[in-house]
Structure 1
Amino acid sequence: MSDSAGRAPARAVARRLTAPLGVAAGIAVAAGYVAAVDPGRPGHYPACPLLRYTGLYCPGCGGLRGLHALCHGDLAAAVGANALAVAGYAAFALLWAVWTVRVLRGAGGIPVFPRAAQWWALGGLVLAFTVVRNLPCGSALVP
């Protein structure tokens, strides 16, 4: 068996892993920046326009603070900043892991293609989260 025959499958695996590893690298760079530059200190990131002009919290308000807390190992602070964003980060990590395993096995690309009903359910969840966090009873969801 020649040495080039062993390299061909390795090259094929490396080529298949290009997209998942590229996505991971981009996320790592972004998370590293958020970990290094505290979003809780004014002047580093732009203010949320919805909060600034209406006083209402959008579904993303606190998401960067949550990511910063996660990068520093503080899950409680991350959930306190934005529970929905933390759940989204976890879902993304799970989907990325499934995608990477599928690529390694040669099973194809991204495993999840949500149906219309799932998109509507996700939109309803985000809308409900947004409404509740802006009500007095949802003060625990405010960043």
Structure 2
Amino acid sequence: MTDYEDLFADDDDTAHCQVLVFSGNDEPALKANASALSNHLLNPGVRVELRDLAYTLAERRTHHFHRAFVVKDRTDLDEGAIAYGKKHSSQPKVGFVFTGQGAQWPLIGKEVVEKFPSARAVIKRLDDALQSLPDPPKWSILGK
């Protein structure tokens, strides 16, 4: 049992480490955000709890595409220790584009309704809901 308990004992070196996360719209903005925080923390008038800073950075800031992090046990911030996200070595290849604007083949919905009774039942329920409105449309979903 002693070995098991040792797994959860506080280790003085890591017990108070926190992950500080940063983000930015692009890489220069990300680095500027980290640098601005580093400079702010250098101000002798600034007193902040590390766990509060970690929480605020992780939960109360907008998460942009470009990310970085550092694990710290105190609030001094060494910008060289920050781990920045991976970079693409080349432009990613686009596999497909779905416009969502009806670019698929004509009458796809008709085929689905004809071949799948459950789809037809859903469309029928939707149509019934539309027709039960105070000012129902003159058309029917199934009729279209």
Give the number of the structure whose alpha-carbon radius of gyration is greater: 2
Q: Higher strand proportion, which one?
A: 2
Q: Higher helix proportion, which one?
A: 1
Alignment TM-score > 0.5, same fold:
no
TM-score grouping bracket, smaller chain normalisation: under 0.3
